[in-house]
Structure 1
Amino acid sequence: MNSHLKIIAGFKQSKSYVKDLYVSLPFRVVSVGQLKNDGRLYQMVMSSSPGILDGDHYDLQVALEKGASLQLQSQSYQRLFNMKDQASQELNVLMEDETSFSYVPHPIVPHEASNFKSTAKIHIGKKSDIIISEIITCGRKHHGEVFKLKRFQNLMEIYHENKLMVKDNVVIQPDLIPINSIGNLEQYTHQGTFIFFSTKENVNKEDLAENIINMSKNQSEMEIGISTMENNGFVLRAIAHGGEIMYNFFLQVQEMLWSLDQKQQ
């Protein structure tokens, strides 16, 4: 099934709003955060499908007009079912100047023999920032499916003024890359990536990284590492024994960055 989602966030009278929205099955988009008075837009992507099936292709198009702020949320864990071939997803985000976009979805659960490739291309304008993450679980652990997927790949690229600023490529293929080896997940079963990138000048990436490290000190079931970029941003890697603890931590980091961005405006 070829499924499409297109959302354009507009900005008018100091408020972000849904300027245009188009979805096809199984997508549905609903407004959340109606009680917030920060003038920003909060939307949840929902699906009538139990998960991504063999042959599915998801096409997600997101655009933010100048001044707009959009936070996308997911409904639940994303399941990747058993596949003979593969499934794929494309995310394209176009951010004009003075925009903010955040997307911290629930973890992905790859079932046995699943084969999935996700690509994301983000074009960010001036005085803008983006928060985006992914969490990959080992699969249905209680069904004995611990990293029995065929292949998983997530390729993400962030551009500014048509110049590639960030490229992140996560590949899990257990038959070629021993997942439990040194330098990979070792004894852990969940892996997460959290990326923050900003084209604003007043971002102190070192202070942000230190705050996040301090936030993680009470997380005994999870370990994190942060690499700051040459520009304003960082990549956070996390490994854990469960998806919920990592997802909740990512939400805390998102809230810190999202609130900080609001204060700067």
Structure 2
Amino acid sequence: MISKVSIEAEVKNGLTQLKSAFFNTPFKVVDIREDKKNPLLELILMSSSPGVLDEDELYFDFTLHENSQMEFTTQSFQRLFIMEKSAFQETNVTLKTNSFLCYLPHPCVPHKDSSFKSSNTIYLEKNASVLWGEIFTCGRKLKEEVFEFKQFQSVTKIYQENRLVFFENLYLKPSESNPMNLGQYEGFTHQLSLAFLNESCDVKNLKKQLDTYLEDKNCVFGISETPTNGLVVKILHDKAEKLLFWMREMTKIIKQNGF
């Protein structure tokens, strides 16, 4: 199945609103903003499908016009089912001047014998900001499917004013290299990656706040400053729900800093 979601947002009367929205089976995009005076547009992606199936192709396009703000979340975990071949997802994001996107999907769960590749490309114009989250899990642990998928790859590229400033390539093929080995996950099974880029943020102060929040959590984490003005947070743990909760709490801290 080939499925597409296309979202375009703009500011009207001080509030970010949908300028256009397109989606086809199995997806539906819903506005969940409770406070109608909140300038932030809050959307959730709903799906009638149990997950991603063999040879599925998923395409997402987001365009945020000048000064617009949007938060995009998902309804449930993204499950990757058994596949003979593979499935693919492509996401393209364009953020115009002074716009902001917060992308916080649920964790991805690759089932046994699944094969999946995703490509995320984000273009930031002047003073645009992005908070991009991703949670990867080893599979269905309760069914003893720990790293039993064929292949998983997620490539994320972020450009600021047409210059590549962030590149991440998560590639796992358990049949060739055991992810539990030394120098990789080392006994952990889940990973959170959270990237935040903003030209005016006090990243050193924000890093201290995030360090303080995570220091008493039972996890392994690291926070790095990006070459441009931003931060990348990495966390290893063994519970998807914990990582999802921490991602949302760190998002609150980032927003409290004015973003």
Flag whether TM exceeds 0.5 (same fold). yes
Mapped partners of 1:244, 1:28: distance in 2: 24
Mapped partners of 1:30, 1:91: distance in 2: 18
What does residue 101 of structure 1 align with? 101
Shift of 1:261: 3.0
Listed one character per residue, the Cα deviations across residues 60-108 of structure 1 (whole Å, up to 9, x for unaligned) are 0000010100100110111000001000100000010010001111111
Shift of 1:151: 0.6
Alignment of 1:114-129 (within 5 A): 114-129=114-129
What does residue 208 of structure 2 align with? 210
1:250 correspondence with 2:229: no
| Off by >2 Å, runs of 4+ in structure 1 | 35-38, 258-262
Listed one character per residue, the Cα deviations across residues 93-149 of structure 1 (whole Å, up to 9, x for unaligned) are 001001000111111110001100000000011112100111111111111101101
Residue type of the partner of 2:143?
Answer: H
In the alignment, structure 1 segments of 5+ residues that lack a partner are none
What does residue 259 of structure 1 align with? 256
- Secondary structure of the residue aligned to 1:177 is coil
Give the TM-score, by structure 2 length: 0.97
Mapped partners of 2:174, 2:9: distance in 1: 40
- Secondary structure of the residue aligned to 2:154 is strand
What does residue 191 of structure 1 align with? 191
Shift of 1:40: 1.2
* Superposition RMSD in Å: 1.1
- Secondary structure of the residue aligned to 1:207 is helix
Mapped partners of 2:208, 2:252: distance in 1: 16
Shift of 1:163: 1.0
Listed one character per residue, the Cα deviations across residues 182-203 of structure 1 (whole Å, up to 9, x for unaligned) are 11111111111111111x2x31
Alignment of 1:17-166 (within 5 A): 17-35=17-35, 37-166=37-166
| Percent sequence identity over aligned pairs | 31
Mapped partners of 1:195, 1:84: distance in 2: 33
Mapped partners of 1:77, 1:187: distance in 2: 22
1:230 correspondence with 2:231: no
